[in-house]
Structure 1
Amino acid sequence: MQYAGLCHRPCFGAIRIRNCSSEVDLRRRQVLEQLDGELAKGDDRAALSILKEWQGKHGGLRCFGAARQIPKRIYTLDELKLNGIEASSLLSPLDATLGSIERNIQAAAALVGVCAWNVFHITPQHLFYLSVGFLFLWTLDSVGLNGGVGSLVLDTIGHTFSQKYHNRVIQHEAGHFLIAYLLGVVPKGYTLSSLEALQKEGSLNLQAGTAFVDFEFLEEVIAGKVSGTMLNRFSCIALAGVATEYLLYGCAEGGLADINKG
């Protein structure tokens, strides 16, 4: 009887824990549904107020706004090297993967052109007309569309044929998303490719990116009084993608625009 009693106590405790856990999960799911509803309506203020209301409470989102920034300090290049950080790999991103893909496309296009010349017996006059046509389309895209079509094609090929490039973009945007969440800034959406951005936003000049509930920051910018805390917070978010790439791969390939913002 004594052993039977000992066996039953943990079981009842486990049931109580599971019931408590399920209640918390249910409450957290309800909070998330409310949050999604407000974001879907475009009411960023209501979405942020919901999270702040539940921040730190049982059933609220875990770790939202839980990160604390350390005092800012300027490091010299020598200090960075002593800490094992190569500044050029971190702060001078060069997209070697897309660059390689672009060169391969150019080589393939040249090869196709030579083959077409031999198979279809293209005359110099036809070659001139084709060259003028391609030059016109390239100029139209570069000037009229800001290179949007070329970027879309290149980015789509990169995601389709390079798993390395695809994974880098995912990790880069995950870095923005995570740091924003930990610093108390609500991520409200993201895209992982130029094609996805075109489908969602209808614009050719958008690439992978993460959108945030940032009206507080914008209000300070409009008022011309941006606090140091707010500026540091969004600088950390802007540079989070580059830092994530560096930590995972040893160098950053994307995020030059993020560095210019930060």
Structure 2
Amino acid sequence: MGSVVYGHGKIHRGLLLSYSRLGLQNSRIVSCLSETTGGGLKLRWQVLEQVDKELRKGDERAALSLVRDLQGKRDGLRCFGAARQIPQRLYTLDELKLNGIDTASLLSPLDATLGSIERNLQIAALLGGAAAWNVFELSPQQLLFFSLGLLFFWTLDAVSFNGGVSGLLLDTIGHTFSQKYHNRVIQHEAGHFLTAYLLGILPKGYTITSLDALKMEGSLNVQAGTAFVDFEFTEEVNRGKLSALMLNRFSCIALAGVATEYLLFGCAEGGLSDISKLDILLKSLGFTQKKADSQVRWAVLNTVLILRRHEDARSKLADVMSEGKSVGFCIKTIEETIKDDDI
């Protein structure tokens, strides 16, 4: 499947080299964490800085190994993979409603903000064309050629770039002129990031705007969103044996963005592609409709409860993500916000 990106998607030797760069061996890290709180917290930040370096180099295995070595340790990374989860069984729609979840609103995102912007641009284009016709006294033939030119470029974008140019334009206008849209996207991505981290999946990067994604990836076909260290997921898929644990994790991560929007705004606007990816994955695994519904309902309820429990962490995470902070700094924010009693 390639690198999984949710938003609107790469050991031992690498681990040893990473610790050598820090000037600390594995045993030394463990002993440091059992000393003073200040020293442990300082070491945690040093390790997270090293995680950022490994991710920038593209060495995802080394980055994940660094994180896992501090997983669950006092003053280490207590929250990584520490989410409290509900038992997996078939949950009815009534049970979800009792928990304040309307699946119709949560699982049917409609991007009203960008839709409105697109309609306004179309109206502006028509009015501009009419004004140009009058001002420049264009002939019907010239107007036809102009219209055909616009249609050609629109078709070229749709076929060659999968709508990337128009999507980039709409997203840029949305972030520039609509604070509501800008905030929704940030909160959406913070939901993906936090849920993944608490479930034991390491985020490896994120982008908030399509322009950021274009600068980072150099492609119009890459959406803004949160990407994860998913080589274990990919390896299981390639072997044709996706474990229930891995499926559960990525089901919840896929739905975390729309769940966040639902909790904050009462409905979701972004995240249709996230739901589509999950649907495609379940179908590829041969799930019947009943089994797929069961998986989605459990994931929805599990994800919503995780996000409700850690609302403060999600809020602070969104703040630092809006500033473009590194993955390591985002993890530091999560660890400093969530209390021991909450995990």
**Normalising by the residue count of structure 2, what TM-score does the alignment of the two structures yield?**
0.68
Task: State the AA in 1 paired with 2:61.
Answer: R
Report whether the alignment pairs 1:194 with 2:210: yes
Report whether the alignment pairs 1:36 with 2:52: yes
Aligned pairs for 1:3-152 (under 5 A) are 20-152=36-168
Task: State the AA in 2 paired with 1:105.
Answer: L
* Deviation of the 1:71 alpha carbon: 2.0
With a CA cutoff of 8 Å and minimum separation of 6, indicate the structure with the bigger relative contact order.
2
Range moving further from structure 2, 78-87 or 151-160: 78-87
| Distance (Å, rounded) in 1 between the aligned partners of 2:96 and 2:42 | 46
| Distance (Å, rounded) in 2 between the aligned partners of 1:122 and 1:84 | 58
1:260 to 248, 268, 276: 276
Q: Is the 8 A contact 1:169 1:208 kept in 2?
A: no
| Distance (Å, rounded) in 2 between the aligned partners of 1:75 and 1:26 | 44
Q: Is the 8 A contact 1:180 1:237 kept in 2?
A: yes
Range moving further from structure 2, 26-35 or 81-90: 81-90
Which ranges in structure 2 are unaligned for 5 or more consecutive residues?
1-34, 279-343
* Deviation of the 1:48 alpha carbon: 1.1
CA RMSD of aligned residues (A): 1.5
**Normalising by the residue count of structure 1, what TM-score does the alignment of the two structures yield?**
0.89
Task: State the AA in 1 paired with 2:253.
Answer: I
Task: State the AA in 2 paired with 1:127.
Answer: L
Q: Is the 8 A contact 1:173 1:208 kept in 2?
A: no
Give the % identical residues: 73
Task: State the AA in 2 paired with 1:84.
Answer: G
Q: Is the 8 A contact 2:41 2:76 kept in 1?
A: no
Q: Is the 8 A contact 2:37 2:75 kept in 1?
A: no
Range moving further from structure 2, 56-65 or 118-127: 56-65
| Distance (Å, rounded) in 1 between the aligned partners of 2:38 and 2:96 | 47
| Distance (Å, rounded) in 1 between the aligned partners of 2:90 and 2:257 | 20
| Distance (Å, rounded) in 1 between the aligned partners of 2:194 and 2:96 | 24
Q: Deviations over 1:2-43 (max 9, x none)?
A: xxxxxxxxxxxxxxxxx9332122111111122112212211
1:185 to 201, 207, 211: 201
| Distance (Å, rounded) in 1 between the aligned partners of 2:69 and 2:95 | 42
Between Structure 1 and Structure 2, whose CA radius of gyration is higher? 1
Q: Deviations over 1:127-167 (max 9, x none)?
A: 01101111111111111211111111111111111110000
Which ranges in structure 1 are unaligned for 5 or more consecutive residues?
1-18
* Deviation of the 1:73 alpha carbon: 3.1
Secondary structure of the 2:36 match is: helix
| Distance (Å, rounded) in 2 between the aligned partners of 1:31 and 1:134 | 52
Q: Deviations over 1:37-78 (max 9, x none)?
A: 221221111111111111122341241111133222333334
| Distance (Å, rounded) in 1 between the aligned partners of 2:151 and 2:246 | 46
Task: State the AA in 2 paired with 1:234.
Answer: F
| Distance (Å, rounded) in 2 between the aligned partners of 1:214 and 1:134 | 40
Aligned pair count?
A: 244
Q: Is the 8 A contact 1:91 1:259 kept in 2?
A: yes
Which consecutive aligned stretches of 4+ in structure 1 deviate over 6 angstroms post-superposition? none
| Distance (Å, rounded) in 2 between the aligned partners of 1:39 and 1:59 | 22
